[in-house]
Amino acid sequence: MIAHATKAPRIRRSSAAPRRPAPTLERSTAAGAAADRRAILKARREMVFARKIDYVACRQFLSAGAERLATLPPAAAAVPLEQSAPEASRGLSPYLASLYKTRLLTKEEEQFYFRRMNWLKFRAATSRGQLDRHRASLRQIEQIEGWLAEAETVKAVIITSNLRLVVSIAKKFVDAGTSLEELVGEGNVALMRAVEKFSFALGNRFSTYATYAIQRHFFRLSHRSRQLRSRFVADEKPLRELAAEPAADGQCSPEQIGLLQAVFSRFLGGLEPREKEIVVARFGFDGRPPKTFRELGVEMGVCKERIRQIQTRAMDKLRLMAAEAKLEQTVGDWL
């Protein structure tokens, strides 16, 4: 006989057993958080791509060892920037005295910090140019933001170490209409602009470039202040007397032009022979048509980039001579 297997009885679940509710609340919360993250990332993308990144280009940035040069600081950078206040800070306000607690940078430190600052901006701008502004990831955005933030930190080091330069120049421009603190504030603005524009690859000291930039800014402020004061009529001088005076035509007289020519000739005499030759030929001071960098390079047997470097060095010297002679202030008084 064949034994038939019996089926086990089916256990029926009670209809009263509780069911697990659908996780609608958790889903909505997660969806909301994801939407917030997407909105934040979109806003950061827009900020990064809308930000203007200015830097001074350098051929070294395209070389294989560019990152190493911009990363390894010189030995002098190990010396702390903070120092005790020198004698020159005595008698100044607490703010001005605090500026002297930061030591000056060496030439090697200047080169490193300017190279580092511009390299970081170059890297950020180059990397941003390779990204899709609508699909850049959070990691890519944070990397660019990090480079730019570090560049601002390096810039602050350069500015802080040169703030005393502004004070020393501002002392020479203090008059009855402006205080030292006001001039220092204006000079700091000029200093920050100079940091952005300085070409470190030429090998010059930043203080030389910044001195001219700050002095030029002070000359403009002084000239503008004199123009404003000249608009007010003194009580002892009647208006009809002012009306009878001939109006200035905004041009120099022949005697003044002759004086400027003599001063500029003296400035040219202070240049090196090759610098003088290039400046005269480039701007046609010898009465001939101005020559290009390439033409002068062929004549002197060097590349056009070398001609440009010599001209830049000569122009910096001429600017310093003009600043020391207060030439811009003199011409402003004439006009």
Look at residue 243 in the predicted model and tell me its pLDDT: 41
Which own/partner pairs from 285-294 qualify as long-range (CB within 8 Å, at least 24 positions apart)? none
Look at residue 236 in the predicted model and tell me its pLDDT: 43
Render pLDDT for 163-201 as a digit per residue (tens, 0 to 9): 989 988 998 888 766 788 888 889 999 999 999 999 988
Domain assignment present for 71: yes
Mean pLDDT of the chain: 80
Band of residue 234 on the pLDDT scale cut at 50, 70, 90: very low
Domain assignment present for 195: no
Distance CA 298, CA 39 (A): 59
Look at residue 141 in the predicted model and tell me its pLDDT: 93
Band of residue 21 on the pLDDT scale cut at 50, 70, 90: low
Burial (0-12, 13-18, 19+ Cβ within 10 Å), 198: buried
Domain assignment present for 145: yes
Band of residue 148 on the pLDDT scale cut at 50, 70, 90: very high
Domain assignment present for 112: yes
Look at residue 240 in the predicted model and tell me its pLDDT: 45
Domain assignment present for 74: yes
| Percent above pLDDT 70 for the chain | 78
Range of the domain at 128: 38-176
Judged against a pLDDT cut of 70, whether residue 22 lies above it is answered with no
Domain count, the chain: 1
CB 173 within 8 Å of CB 329? no
Judged against a pLDDT cut of 90, whether residue 300 lies above it is answered with no
Domain assignment present for 226: no
**Which residues are within 8 A (CB) of 154 and not within 5 positions of it... i.e. 6 or more apart?**
113, 116, 117, 120
Domain assignment present for 26: no
Render pLDDT for 71-80 as a digit per residue (tens, 0 to 9): 888 888 888 8
Look at residue 235 in the predicted model and tell me its pLDDT: 45
284 or 171, which is more confident: 171
Domain assignment present for 182: no
**pTM for this predicted structure:** 0.60
Strongest mean pLDDT among 8-22, 104-118, 256-270: 104-118
Phi, then psi, of 280 in degrees rounded to 5: -65, -45
Render pLDDT for 240-270 as a digit per residue (tens, 0 to 9): 444 444 444 445 667 767 777 778 888 888 8
Judged against a pLDDT cut of 50, whether residue 96 lies above it is answered with yes
